[in-house]
Amino acid sequence: MLLRTALTLLAAMTTLAAPAPDPDAYLEEIEGAPALAFARAENARSLPVLQNDPRYAGLHADALAIVTAKDRIPAVDFAGEAELRNFWQDAAHVRGVWRTTSLDSYRKAEPEWRTILDLDAVSAAEKANWVWKGANCLAPEERLCLVQLSDGGKDAVEVREFDTRTGAFVSGGFVSPQSKQDVAWIDADTLLIGRDWGADTLTESGYPFVLKSWKRGTPLSQARELFRGAKSDVAVQPAVLRDSEGRVQAVIAQRQVSFFEAEYHLLTDKGPVKLPFPLRSTLHGLVDGQLALTLEQDWPEQGFREGDLVAYDLAALKAAPATARGVLVLRPSESQAIEQVATTRGRLVVALYENVKGGIVSFAHGPGGWTSKALEMPRDVSVSIASTSERDDRLLVNVAGFLTPNTQRLADAASGAGEVLKTMPPRFDASKLQVDQHWATSKDGTRVPYFVVHRKDLKLDGTAPTLLYAYGGFQVSITPSYSGVTGKLWLERGGVYVVANIRGGGEFGPRWHNAGLKLNRQRVYDDFFAVSEDLIARKITSPRRLGIMGGSNGGLLMGVALTQRPELYNAIVIQVPLFDMIGYTHIGAGASWVGEYGDPAIPAERAVIDTYSPYQNLRAGKPYPEVYIETSTKDDRVHPAHARKAAARLKSLGYSYLYYENIDGGHAAAANLNETAKRVALEYTYLTRRLMD
């Protein structure tokens, strides 16, 4: 009887009538005239509401001073024999300069920088709005680099070869026109590149699935194919593994069959050879001939568990991949998570978190296996590996907390010794503030941690204006961080700031992420509501004073909160969101995220998505607060159509809302620091109006 009922329901699901035409579908044409007219009209209506508020000017001035401050810590990377390189933006360098200095000079209060590339000058000369997307430099010298430039912040980039010694683009060098593309050096005259090669060479998600070898001095059209995935893949990406001397040890095609599942293929003279790793595993690098990877699923055939860090002898893999056996390097406990894995010349370094608080552990490989050493780090903060040296065992580590300004440390992974290189000056007065960690109980009994940053004399009477932030997806952890704009524009003015470490993220490793995938997506939202209710139960705040903020996947979370529990919130900032989850697979890069959310084309998965997709669940007559939606026209990752359609549907239902679409900016909704300051000031003006007034 139960089986018959289930089959009947399944048959009913598969024979549903075709959905009615979507009246807002025209907004999916990213730069279509009607869609842009809609965006401009919404900007013209909403921006004056916020920018004419008497507090906006002060908030904008504070935000601009913070984001363009020259006493920020430069995000430097090791390069070549003895260089530190940095891409820098400030009020005088809005688009930015790529520059270099020595470690000895960098230790000084005012380092002596040499400009490698001035992006403002290039943009002016070419009459373009170039946004820096990084550079891939040829080891070990790192003189020749493949610079990636984006038009207005898109993920699609133009690749140009650049000589860091002469400070000029290489005449007759490698140039690959704009595309969503990935490129790696094999040697000084050969690249491994995946890009749009023409018809049927991009996946359904819009990423390349054909890798080719491209020789210097030949046209791109003559590149030789080495590997081909499938159109149904998310992407195929190149990787080149080198030893401590910079010599190539392996050339690899990483075939992302889904967002979280990958095959790794060694590219040999005889053709590709598939490595025997489970689909849910991630390669991190090579140390002493040992290939390190983490597992996002159990691997019982080899005795490994979800979350393990393991290593394989590369020579053994090459000789007999089917019979190679790995060794366990690290197995995190239930309260731990591996946040990062990186390599120095001779060490494997891991950012290991305990209850969402970070530390660094270094591993060395020897005849007796792997040995470990914990590096001395501050407690109860976030630590992240910013850069590692391929010439020795040094690494750069960023340390920060909610009330602890960013500190940059130089550490030695072998000896454990370290020193502070730079400390950022405080951006706000933290003397009257404190941080607490609480735990809420979700609907299924799972305990969910969250951090609360508040005044020491906080009265627990439910009147504190409170901003709750969360993400909850893609195994991305939201750890303690120092935000000058949040501190200055919110905390210093009496607000409370909360970060929820809900499932879907990676705060407790792959298990925390896997618990909220696809059919279990509602758990992510239940965790968020549990934290919201716990804040209210503790009388830290109340629905009248509680606001929430999230972007991208977190923007989807905001949309679900709006439609499922609007009575809990009086302000919702919806940043660059996903919103139409029934249609998301055909909008922008949406098809690549089926591994996270499920596929609306599969009846069982669509049934779950139907229950939470904000666009389809907006209804008339609900107690929705006035929301603030923001996006960017140039976002080619999460398409602006999601935000546009959210606004259009709210408008058709008669709700009050505010909307801002930045014409440039990419997925960050800001192409430069001036635009960032504007975006932040708009957000906090809105939050002030809704929660502090």
Distance (Å) of CA 49 to CA 16, 55, 656, 663: 43, 12, 12, 19
Active site residue 481: no
SS3 state at 522: helix
- Who's near 575: CB < 8 A, 6+ residues apart? 549, 550, 551, 552, 554, 555, 558, 630, 631, 669
Distance (Å) of CA 338 to CA 191, 394, 415: 32, 20, 22
Q: Which of 179, 477, 552, 613 is catalytic?
A: 552
Tokens linked to 557:
């979370």
Active site residue 431: no
Minimal CA–CA distance to 194: which of 170, 220, 173, 218?
220
Nearest-angstrom CA–CA distance, 348 and 358: 17
Give the distance, in angstroms, between the CA of residue 686 and the centroid of all CA atoms in the same chain. Answer: 25
The answer to whether residues 502 and 448 touch, using CB atoms and an 8 Å cutoff, is: yes
Parallel, antiparallel, or unpaired for β 210-215 and 190-194? antiparallel
- DSSP H helices in 68-110: 103-106
Tokens linked to 465:
């204006």
Question: Would you mind telling me the total number of residues written for the chain in this entry?
Answer: 693
SS3 state at 119: helix
Nearest-angstrom CA–CA distance, 687 and 152: 28
**Radius of gyration of the CA atoms of the chain, in A:** 25
SS3 state at 395: strand
Beta strands in 245-326 (DSSP E): 248-256, 262-268, 271-274, 281-287, 290-295, 309-313
Which residues carry out catalysis? 552, 667
